[in-house]
Structures are given as structure tokens and as C-alpha cells.
Structure 1
Amino acid sequence: MTPVPPGPAQVLIVGAGPSGLMMAAQLLRYGIQPVIIDSKQGPTHQSKALAVQARSLEIYRQLGIIDTVIYGGKQVKGINFHYDGEEQATFAIDNIGIHITPFPYVHIYEQSKNERALLGYLTQHSCPVYWNTTLVSLQQGTGVVNVTLNNKEQEYSLLCNWLIGADGAHSAVRKTLNIPFTGDTYPHTFYLADLVLGQDSDFMNMHLSQKGFVACFPMPEKNACRVVGNLTAKLANKEELTLNDVLPSLQKITGKPLEIAQCNWFTTYGLHHRMADKFSQGRCYLIGDAAHIHSPVGGQGMNTGLQDAYNLSWKLAGVINKRLKPNILGTYAAERMPVAKQLLKTTDRAFNVIMSRSIWAGLFKKWVLPVLLKQAWQSDKLKFEFFKRISQTGINYPHSPLSLHLSQLKTIRAGDRLPYLKVFDEKKLQETDLHAWCSKPGFTLITMGLLQELYLFSLAKWITQNYNGWLNFFHLPSSVKNQKVFDAFDIKEGQNKTIIVRPDMHIGFINDVVDLEMMKNYLENVVGSPSQ
């Protein structure tokens, strides 16, 4: 008999894809045991999304499962651009983000593996997924959501305090809430094939032509490759296509035959670019593909869903645990909707250039684009900006109501992701980094500069009495070994700096002085985290 989840539940998560599983994993860090359901029979066996960007790897590091993700994946060494079968440009991208993140590359680790890594984390924390279970209806009441579920054997009701819709582009949660999913469908149809070839590669190959495009992505297994391309007009409406149907077009665009040893998966699909008009309604929230879908250009989709979950989870956990006032939940949409809008805009532009068959677009792709890319790649600044965008390390929330910048510093601002900077721990006499200091759940207070021992003791005592387990504290005294950190934050001799880092490793507060009352004001009146 199919098990029925116990109720009532504090949080019900509908959808056990990457974003839903990440939401569950993050809630577990704060001691909240969610109920997670999915209509599928189990985790996907298909590779689906491929790239895990640096910002997502940083979350996996914080979760403590980064070794599984790194060892099970593969770094992309570079990108080769071709036009009409001829190589136009090659760009190395391994270690392109050095000094920005501990993961300065694009990592191939397909969706099925992401799901299994997160499921492993859930299993360790005794949090099951209730498969074969669908949402039939939901009704919001005062402080609760009453849902009807079906597990193919029976229908039953479940009460929950909060509901998370992580159930994909065809989200039953979004449809039940009658939230419009605004956007359009691209006019093209595409194919996807996971192949085993006659040779291995660490490079992504992009093939452009007037006939269309083919993109080949290296996969972690030996000689494995993901091939994506557009269907010709003749094939677009044909049913039950196979790899053999698309091989002639594929080989015309790439200019060479592929040595295919095996085909592990072949499918055709359409692409959409849509976004929900709002990301929440009452006690229900949308994350991942339930909130926004777009073209796969840049490998951003799955990563954006993981970031949605990362952003919402600590806020919801804080409200449930009475560490935060409920109005902080409004900042989820305020912060994540602009990210989704910008992503839709940029991926749509890039995708339309790739797919355009106009004469001018062809000339641009053949003659102008390679030159522009080569010139851009000679600039360290442009490479830096490219990596920040594709890795999602450049996403920031400067206009968020949670960002309070009280510093003269202009290079690092409240709302930015905390820079990855190595630190020499003077007490433990070992090297660490600022991100490692933020590994525990909750906020992190970092003070820098010369402070009296008595004042440091007073800060620690205040935290223990008022924010124990919710505000972690580190002090970095000035030293030769940590001069790079002081330079990054523009701290001169005799100066101090206060940084309060949010649980999602974005800076919430920066101040050029260390003042307890100002910290208290930020936490209580800006964040809405009253002292206990």
C-alpha cells in the first residue's frame, strides 16, 4: 500500500525535482521536517539539465555534499565555435573564475545526479519523498492550507501551514491558484540525444549555420556527449522521430559524421519563455520552473530554481521558528522576480540570434561574432563579467529592503554575494575562507580591525543572550597574512568594518564602524529578527 504522509505539516512541497529537493534540504538545516510529494514514480533517470554553476556548487558546499557533486561530474575546459563545419574560435574557460569562487568553472552534473545527491541528503535526515502522489486541490484558510492529495489508491486531505509549488512548468499549484504564466512558445522544435561517441572530449562545441544549430556538451561518463539541435521543417511535424531521422541534418551542420557507439536517450521538445505574474499568493509560493521557464542558453534554468529555494527557505524557516517576522516573506518575490525577468530577457536575445536564419544574422554569426568574442576574451575584465553572469555569482540584491549599506565602500555593497576570500585563522593557525565561516545555518556577523578584547566579549555575550544559534560570530584582526581581505574591504590602519551576512551568503549589512546598537537596529528593524 502506498504510504500516506502524516499531517498536519508545517510545509508541504509539491514537486521533487532539484528546486523542491533543495527547498526540503534547506528547511532540514533549520530543524523543519517538510512533507514532499511528487506525481512521478521516483527520481528521474533522464539527464535533463546539465550544468551546475559555481553559485549552486557553493550551496552544495554549505550543505556538506560538495564532494559527491564534484566527483560525479566533469569540468568544461572550453568552448569551440564553428560555422558551416569550420572552426572559427576556441575559448578556454577552465579556471576562468579563479579568485571569485572555489569553483571557477562550469561543471557538468546532470539533473538526475543532482536529484540523487539531494535525495541522499534527505535520506540522511529521515525525510522521505511521497512518490505517485498528486495535488488534486487546495484551499487557503486562516493560517493554513487545506489540500486534497491522490496517491492512485485513495484521495485524502492534508493540512499544512505553508505550501511550496516546485512542480515544474505545468505546475498544478500555479494553475490551482489561477496565477497567469505570461510569455510565449518558440516557433521551433528541437531534439536532444545523449550519446556515447568514439572519442572523449572536455570541450563544448557550438555549431552554427544557416540551416540551424547543433550544440555538443561533454558529459561525465567516458565518451559521453549531449547533442542538442533544431529539427528541420520537414521533420518538425513528424511523429515518433528517432536519432536516424536527424542524423543527416546534424552532419550537414557539423560538417562531419559522428562516430556513434550508443544512444542512451533521444527526445524532441518545444521551448517556452514564460514567467508567473506573481511568485506567491497567501501561504503558497512558487519556485523553479513553476515560476519561470526560458531557453536553455547558458545553463541557467536548474541553477535559478536552486537559488529560488535557497532564497525562500531561510526566510520561511525563520518565520516558522519565530526568529523572523512574517513580512520578510515578501522579500522573496522582491528579490527573485527581477532576477527571473533579466534572465528571460538575456536568454531570449541570445537564443533568437542563434536561431535567426536571416542573411544579416548569418553574416553576423560567421564573420562578426567570432571576432567580437576573440576581442572580448583578451580582456580580463570582460572575462570576469562573463563568468560572474554565467556562474550566477554576480546576482545581487542592492535594492532589497534587507540591504543596508552604511559604508563608503563602493566595490562591495550590501546586497552583494559575500566575496570568496581566503582567510588565515590566527586562533586555529590554519587557512580557511569567508564562505567557510558562513557554513552554519543563520546569519553571520564578521567584524574586522582592531577591537578591544572586552568589547569582543561584550559582542559575544550579546549574541549568546539574544541570537544564540541564529547569529554566528567571527572576528578578523589585522595581520600581514590577511592583508588581502582588508584591502578588498578597503580597511585602512586603525579602521574597522562590520558585515552581517545573510543565511544565503548575501551581505545584508555593511558598516565602517563596529557599533552594537546599529547591528541591533539592523537585525530588529530591517530584517525583523527580534532578540529572544
Structure 2
Amino acid sequence: MIALPKHTEVLIVGAGPSGLMMAAQLLRYGVIPTIIDTRQGPTNHSKALAVQARSLEIYRQMGVIAQVLKEGKPAGGAMLHRGEEVIASLPLRNAGTGQTPYPYVLMFPQSKNERVLLDHLTLNCCPVYWQTSLVALKQTADGVEAELETGGNTQTLTCNYVIGADGAHSVVRKQLGIAFNGDTYQHKFYLADVKINNAFTDDFVHLYLSGKGFAGFFLMPEAGNFRVVGNLPAILDNDAEKTFDDVLPHLRAITALPLDVEQVNWFTIYKLHHRMADKFNDGRCFLVGDAAHIHSPVGGQGMNTGLQDAYNLAWKLAGVVNRQFAPGILNSYAEERMPVARDLLNSTDKVFNMVTSQSLFSNFIKRFIVPPALKFFWKKDKMRTAFFKGVSQTGINYRDSKLNLHLSHNSQIKAGDRLPYLEIFDKKKQEKTDIHAWCSKPGFTLVTIGIIQENYLFALAKWITQRYNQTLNFFHLPPSEKNQHILDAFEIRPGQRKALIIRPDMHIGYMNDAVDIELMDNYLRDVVGFTA
């Protein structure tokens, strides 16, 4: 077993998807963290299933997207049933065409996400210290002292920052005394990963809503394998040990299907919670993922939200550790991510309560109101686009963040928005690329669009080299017929120009209708907090 260090810049507690993503993102900026986890190794259970487009964009930026796509399976959509009757069909494949390189929901289990991230850490010589527990935390004037236990021995590790990625029962959160407010859903539910013969031959998610309860069948990458989710019938709601065979009669009654189950790979019964931490950080300690917020599994948002918590925090923390940013930038993590978690908590709670409720009113709504409403709205392009933006998390913005500076007449795209996915024809290389590919390197990216004199482009390059070398990448897009759609998207009229500074997490931090070095320098120094 590798010996734990005595000191580390960043200690990450928890090696689930959020903790592993945090480590992977820190590594992009040359910060090697120490990661510990109480488990013996990565999970073998599938757990969370859906990877949304925004998370796939992160994997693309990291350079691991090929492996993810190879092992995952896009969902074709969702189909709502009432017994043998299909009451609504919602095709999702390519629902986000033009909005992202990945216009679908990818079924790629948590276990596989962890493996991809672990492989990435291994290639970058960053181990995980398994079977290692956090016992106590103490913040000092200079950093944090963490008491760890491994192999029956305890040791104190000092660090500058601690990331609590240790799940719903977070020891970090409890040590900090941060309240985890919310509630527990009344009913019990079950999860099962099963192989079913001749059940569904399409690639849709199948949801069954009835007066007897609900059940969902989520396709998995392996042929014939499904994640089955359902409510535990009242007759089984006792402390006796249960198996999938116990719930199978109830499941068959809800679906009106024979369900020839060949193999049960995993089965568990649990209660669902919806809770959120009062604070996402305390001093030098931060919470990400389930340690900060947990909610119902509606829409496959949980794991993705945790991945993006880490994505938001890591570049800021790395900049502080590397002495490039003033520490004040770390306050923006909670300011930006807490509203996202709160909105997600509220929306999933409402939908989940409606789906699981067995009241006469809810059953009436689900039977007679929801199906025609879904059919009507799904025919509207705007509604499908809005739905995809919500589910895929590509619609999340930080417009109210103090890290933004919007100096533009733009009304559609603003500072704080995720950088839209736009294809580009590179005239010099005579090949197609896209604006997200321009932002693939670590650091900020300056993109200027429009007619700019060559001597001023040289001045921009000189300014970047002298003041922001290796922290600010630079691309210029002159007007052309093949790229007119980009000028249109950013509302650039003939003769105008635009300057965008894209944050490392591919959100627009700065937008100006003028390309002004002094104003951009002021943004980076006074708003972002560059110190180098």
C-alpha cells in the first residue's frame, strides 16, 4: 500500500464521480491532490445511469470522450404506458441537434464513469488511497489538519484545502457542522439491474404509471439489461429481507407484461431524500455532489450535477493554489452552484411527487391530463428545445455571478451563459471545427469576431504573451460566408466586432462589442482576480 503523504495542497474525501472529477480537473492545471475513500475500491454497481450532454462536453474537453461513447448507449427517448396502452411517446434521439455535439442522453452507468476517471488519474500518476477514512477535521490559520485512519492506524495530514465529495452521509459536512436540511420521501423504492428476455427491443426508457404504483425500465449498454425502478408495494413494506422475486408480481401487475427475468445482477430497497446543505463551503473546506445536495432520480440529474460542481470549483481552486488568482474567487463557487442545486431540488421534487402519488387527483392528472399535454407540447420545436436544455443541463447559466462582465447589446447570449456550440470553418486549415474545440486547452480563451486590423491582432497577441502567457488562449474569427451563422448568433452586424473571454468551464465571462485591451485587462484583474 502506498504511504499517505504528510502534507498535500488539496485533500479530496470521497472517490465517487464528483471526487474523481475534482481530481481530474485539478490535474489539468498541474495540481496533484490526495484522494481518500473508505471503500475497498471503485463501485461494481451501476448506480446512476444517465450522462447528460453537458457532462459529455466536459469529457470531450478532457480528451476521454471516445471511451465514454464507445461503452455507452444513447437513449432513443421515453415512452409512457398505462398497462398495455402507450399513452405518450417522446423521441429524444437528436433532440438537441445543433445545441451540442451530443444531442441525446447517454446511458453510461456510474461504475463506468468512475472507471474512466480512475484510468485518467492513473495515467497522470494520481493514486486513490482506498480503505482510508476521515476521522476529524480542524481548520487552522494556515490550512486544515485532517486526522485519517487507514489499516488500523491514524495519522494527521495537513493540507491547504479540503473537498468533501463523500456523499449524503458526508463526514466532512458533519465535521464542519453544516446543516443538511430537507426531508425523506414517505414511501420505499427498489432498484434492480436485471436481464430480461424479449421485454423491449427498442432503445426507449419505458415508464409505467398506474393506480397501483409506478415502474421504470431504463436501458443499459449491455443487450437485454435494464435498470428497473419502482415503488415498493405497501404489502411488502416491512423489515423482512426482500429479493427481486418479491416485487416481481407487483411489477407484472403494473406493466401487464410476463417479464421473463433471466438474471438479477443487483437489487436494493431504499428511501429517497431531498436535502441541501446550508452552505457549500466553510473556510478552506468545500462540498461537492451528494455531500452538498441530494434529490430524487427524476431526469437523471444527480451524478451530472456533482460532476459539474467539481468542474466549476476545480479551475478556481487550482488558480488560487497556483497563486494566479486572489482567494476571493472561491466565493463564487457557492454563489453559482447553490441556485442550480436549489432549482433542481424544487423541480425534481414536484415531478417526483406527482409521479409517485397514488391520490385520486394525481391519478386523474396522470391518466387524462398529462398524456395529451405531452403530445401537444412535444410537437412544438421550442418546447422540445427548452426540454432538452433543461434535461441536458446545457441551459444552466451564471448570469448573476460576480465573475461576469457584460458590455454588449446582445439580448440572446449573455455573459454567464454556457458558450453555445457553434461549428466553424477554419479558413487557414480548410477544415471544420467548432467553438468548443477552441476552448479545449486549460485556462481562459479570448475569442474575437469581426474585422480587426492585423496590427491590432499582433498587439493582442503581445499583450497576452506578456501578461497572461499560458493562462489565456487566443482565437480570431474574421467574417466569412461560411461562418456567418456565428456572427448572427452573437448579433454582430456588418462592420461590428465582438470580444468574448470564455472561462475554463466554457461559460462566457466577458462580452463586449468593442475589442479593448484595457477593458479586458481590467476584467481579468479586477473581476476574475488575476494576480500574476
Tell me the TM-score range normalised by the shorter chain: over 0.9
Deviations 1:331-374 (A, max 9, x none): 00000000000000000000000011111111110111000000
Please state whether the residue corresponding to 2:279 is helix, strand or coil.
Answer: coil
Equivalent residue, structure 1, for 2:266: 265
Deviation at 1:86, TM superposition (A): 1.9
Equivalent residue, structure 1, for 2:316: 315
Separation in structure 2 between the aligned mates of residue 246 and residue 225 of structure 1, nearest angstrom: 16
Separation in structure 1 between the aligned mates of residue 163 and residue 238 of structure 2, nearest angstrom: 36
| Structure 2 residue identity aligned to 1:388 | K
Deviations 1:84-129 (A, max 9, x none): 3421111111000000000000000000000000000000100000
Contact 1:201-1:218 at 8 Å conserved across structures: no
Equivalent residue, structure 2, for 1:87: 86
Separation in structure 1 between the aligned mates of residue 217 and residue 202 of structure 2, nearest angstrom: 10
| Structure 1 residue identity aligned to 2:358 | R
Equivalent residue, structure 1, for 2:425: 424
Separation in structure 2 between the aligned mates of residue 509 and residue 7 of structure 1, nearest angstrom: 40
Deviation at 1:142, TM superposition (A): 1.1
Equivalent residue, structure 1, for 2:346: 345
Equivalent residue, structure 2, for 1:377: 378
Please state whether the residue corresponding to 1:97 is helix, strand or coil.
Answer: coil
Alignment of 1:214-363 (within 5 A): 214-363=215-364
Equivalent residue, structure 2, for 1:448: 449
Equivalent residue, structure 1, for 2:390: 389
Alignment of 1:97-176 (within 5 A): 97-176=96-175
Separation in structure 1 between the aligned mates of residue 142 and residue 465 of structure 2, nearest angstrom: 31
| Structure 2 residue identity aligned to 1:521 | N
Deviates most, 304-313 or 239-248: 239-248
Determine whether 1:38 maps to 2:37: yes
Separation in structure 2 between the aligned mates of residue 7 and residue 443 of structure 1, nearest angstrom: 33
Deviation at 1:186, TM superposition (A): 0.3
Please list every run of at least 4 consecutive aligned residues from structure 1 whose deviation after the TM superposition is greater than 4 angstroms.
none
Contact 1:85-1:253 at 8 Å conserved across structures: no
Please state whether the residue corresponding to 1:102 is helix, strand or coil.
Answer: coil
Contact 1:85-1:207 at 8 Å conserved across structures: no
| Structure 2 residue identity aligned to 1:67 | A
Separation in structure 1 between the aligned mates of residue 74 and residue 176 of structure 2, nearest angstrom: 40
Contact 1:498-1:511 at 8 Å conserved across structures: yes
Separation in structure 2 between the aligned mates of residue 280 and residue 153 of structure 1, nearest angstrom: 30
Deviation at 1:152, TM superposition (A): 2.7
Contact 1:86-1:255 at 8 Å conserved across structures: no
Deviation at 1:190, TM superposition (A): 0.6
Deviation at 1:159, TM superposition (A): 0.5
Equivalent residue, structure 2, for 1:518: 519
Determine whether 1:197 maps to 2:196: yes
Equivalent residue, structure 2, for 1:434: 435
Please state whether the residue corresponding to 1:87 is helix, strand or coil.
Answer: strand
Deviation at 1:322, TM superposition (A): 1.1
Contact 1:204-1:217 at 8 Å conserved across structures: yes
Deviations 1:301-338 (A, max 9, x none): 00000000000000000101111110000000000000
| Structure 1 residue identity aligned to 2:490 | F
Deviation at 1:237, TM superposition (A): 1.4
Deviations 1:355-408 (A, max 9, x none): 111111111101110000000100000000000000000000000001111100
TM-score by length of 2: 0.99
Please state whether the residue corresponding to 1:175 is helix, strand or coil.
Answer: helix
Please state whether the residue corresponding to 1:327 is helix, strand or coil.
Answer: helix
Please state whether the residue corresponding to 2:158 is helix, strand or coil.
Answer: strand
Deviations 1:1-43 (A, max 9, x none): x433213100000000000000000000000000000000000
- Percent of pairs identical after alignment? 59
- C-alpha RMSD over aligned residues: 0.8
Separation in structure 2 between the aligned mates of residue 7 and residue 480 of structure 1, nearest angstrom: 59
| Structure 2 residue identity aligned to 1:40 | R
| Structure 2 residue identity aligned to 1:401 | K
Deviation at 1:210, TM superposition (A): 1.2
Deviations 1:439-458 (A, max 9, x none): 00000000001111110001
Equivalent residue, structure 2, for 1:187: 186
Deviations 1:475-528 (A, max 9, x none): 000011111111111111110000000000000010001111110111011111
Q: Which runs of 5+ in 1 are unaligned?
A: none
Please state whether the residue corresponding to 1:69 is helix, strand or coil.
Answer: helix
Deviates most, 25-34 or 357-366: 357-366
| Structure 1 residue identity aligned to 2:95 | I
Alignment of 1:365-514 (within 5 A): 365-514=366-515
| Structure 2 residue identity aligned to 1:236 | D
Please state whether the residue corresponding to 2:433 is helix, strand or coil.
Answer: strand
| Structure 2 residue identity aligned to 1:102 | P
| Structure 2 residue identity aligned to 1:490 | E
Separation in structure 2 between the aligned mates of residue 491 and residue 123 of structure 1, nearest angstrom: 45
| Structure 2 residue identity aligned to 1:86 | E
Deviates most, 75-84 or 495-504: 75-84
Alignment of 1:68-87 (within 5 A): 68-87=67-86
Separation in structure 1 between the aligned mates of residue 132 and residue 240 of structure 2, nearest angstrom: 30
Please state whether the residue corresponding to 1:90 is helix, strand or coil.
Answer: strand
Separation in structure 2 between the aligned mates of residue 154 and residue 434 of structure 1, nearest angstrom: 51
Deviates most, 457-466 or 235-244: 235-244
TM-score by length of 1: 0.99
Separation in structure 2 between the aligned mates of residue 43 and residue 252 of structure 1, nearest angstrom: 36
Separation in structure 2 between the aligned mates of residue 473 and residue 372 of structure 1, nearest angstrom: 47
Please state whether the residue corresponding to 1:331 is helix, strand or coil.
Answer: helix
Equivalent residue, structure 1, for 2:23: 24
Q: Which runs of 5+ in 2 are unaligned?
A: none
Separation in structure 2 between the aligned mates of residue 167 and residue 182 of structure 1, nearest angstrom: 17
Separation in structure 2 between the aligned mates of residue 177 and residue 78 of structure 1, nearest angstrom: 42
Deviations 1:275-314 (A, max 9, x none): 0000000100000000000000000000000000000000
Separation in structure 1 between the aligned mates of residue 275 and residue 90 of structure 2, nearest angstrom: 31
Separation in structure 2 between the aligned mates of residue 122 and residue 234 of structure 1, nearest angstrom: 47
| Structure 1 residue identity aligned to 2:240 | E
Separation in structure 1 between the aligned mates of residue 35 and residue 392 of structure 2, nearest angstrom: 28
Deviation at 1:173, TM superposition (A): 0.3
| Structure 2 residue identity aligned to 1:398 | R
| Structure 2 residue identity aligned to 1:247 | L
Please state whether the residue corresponding to 1:204 is helix, strand or coil.
Answer: strand
